[in-house]
Amino acid sequence: MAHKVFKVEEYEYPELLPTFPKVDYDPYVELKVVDKGHLADPEFKSLFGAATKVDRITPDLGTEIEGIDIRQMTDEQKNELALLTAQRGVVVFRNQPATIYDMTELAKYYGPLHVHSTTGIPKDPKLNGVHIVWNDGTKPFDRINYDRSSGWHSDQTYEINTPGLTSLKVVTAPESGGDTLWCSGYAVLSSFSPQFQRYLESISALHSSDKQKAQAIEKGVYIRRPQTDCIHPVVRVHPVTGMKSLFVNSGYTRRIVGVPKAESDAILNFLFTQIAQCNEYQVRIRWGKDTICFWDNRCVWHTATFDYFPMKRHGLRATPVGERPISVEDYEKSTGKVALDWYREKMRALGEDVDDEEANKAVSKIAGAD
């Protein structure tokens, strides 16, 4: 079957299509980033006070806010957005005239921008910190080779400082389809037994850009920074919420370090499957004209949906990096606080209590241990 041809000259945003310049970036070194969420009013008075509607899309993650133009936010509102996204995982704004230049300015408020080493960037060098999502709608989705579980990922976890408060605007959305899903890393972790959580808290994993680089080489794309791999704790603590989040993903996590390969494979496969299957901890957002979604890449995963052939889809992402992932042990040592468990905090907020002893007993009963 002959595929239709995409004509740049007929397209609305030709200047925002991906380019692959032959430039060399320096390798990343660790950056000190202090999260703006620390400065926020926990009651969100500035942000919610100015909003006309605040809707919790699911009980556990995703909030949609109406009545705010993100270009006009005060510093107080920006700080509250950081805290809200750290708590709710995803925050959605509709009808936003903000351009990718506005989104880039806002992202810089939160931290240094991540500059990608292989994916397409707009030709304006001022936008070299922008990641482009682009599907020209000329090729049907490859159903045969698609690895379903590998769709779920968090962004660029092979870096030392991994992305934090990320925003995406789909400037050309298909008429229907092309939704994005997010899943809560806090909630998935808390769904495991206390024993298994303790094990996960004690290990680290290798994250790699290997596959992304190999794909780029296959397409003849120039690699703008040498390959980066990094070892991170499997459970990281969000510095603002103090909550533990599961931090492995099928896109970039290759190996749990220091354990037999069979154990690493079994555990990673189990975790990746859980992420894809926990629909009670997921939210699915339909893009409309001028929708902008913010997510906290430290505590959610995301995946796109390829159901829109032969329509086009074009997204622009602004990505500030956060702190180098903090393990439970380091967090507790450096702050003197106990890292929090999402489910316990949720129950506490509902006036209930959860006893680990009880949970342990329940688990051993199910396992037939007594």
Ligand X SMILES: O=C(O)CCC(=O)C(=O)O
Residues labelled as active-site residues: 153, 155, 302, 317
Instruction: Kindly report the backbone phi and psi dihedral angles of residue 254, in degrees, each rounded to the nearest multiple of 5, phi listed first.
Output: -105, -35
Is residue 304 within the footprint of ligand X (CB under 6 A)? yes
Q: Which stretch binds Fe ion (CB under 5 A): 39-47, 150-158, 160-168, 336-344?
A: 150-158
Nearer Cβ to ligand X, position 173 or 230? 173
71: three-class secondary structure by DSSP: helix
The least distance separating ligand X from the CB of residue 241, rounded to whole angstroms, comes to 22
Site string for ligand X, 177-196 (x = CB under 6 A): ---x----------------
- Interface residue with Fe ion among 60, 102, 155, 296 (CB under 5 A) is 155
Number of Cβ within 10 Å of residue 311's Cβ equals 16
The answer to whether 158 and 230 have CB atoms below 8 angstroms apart is yes
Tokens of 201: 């808290």
* Residue at token pair 């190999």: 214
Which residue, 228, 233, 225, 103, is CA-closest to 170? 103
Among 89, 308, 317, 339, binds ligand X (CB under 6 A): 317
Segment near Fe ion (CB under 5 A); pick from 68-76, 147-155, 184-192, 198-206 = 147-155
Cα–Cα distance between 276 and 84 in angstroms, integer? 24
Under the binding rule (CB under 6 A), the answer on residue 107 touching ligand X is no
Helix (H), strand (E) at residue 256: strand 253-256
Report the 10 Å Cβ neighbour count for 26: 8
**Residue of minimal CB distance from Fe ion?**
155
Smaller CB separation from ligand X, 120 or 315? 315
Structure tokens at 265: 């494979």
Based on CB atoms, which residue is closest to Fe ion, 68 or 130? 130
Whether the CB-CB separation of 252 and 297 falls below 8 Å is answered with no
In angstroms, rounded to a whole number, what is the distance separating the alpha carbons of residues 13 and 170? Answer: 12
Q: Tell whether residue 315 is a contact of ligand X (CB under 6 A).
A: yes
C-beta of 301 vs 331, nearer to ligand X: 301
Q: How far is the CB of 303 from Fe ion (least distance, A)?
A: 8
Peptide bond into 125 cis (omega under 30): no
Tell which positions 112-151 bind ligand X, by CB under 6 A. Answer: 131, 133
Q: List the one residue from 35, 60, 155, 159 that touches ligand X (CB under 6 A).
A: 155
Looking at this protein, which amino acid is placed at residue 242?
Answer: G
Shortest distance in whole angstroms from residue 276 CB to Fe ion: 15
Q: What are phi and psi of 335, to 5 degrees?
A: -105, -20
By CB under 6 A, name the binding residues for ligand X.
131, 133, 155, 168, 180, 302, 304, 315, 317
By CB under 5 A, name the binding residues for Fe ion.
155
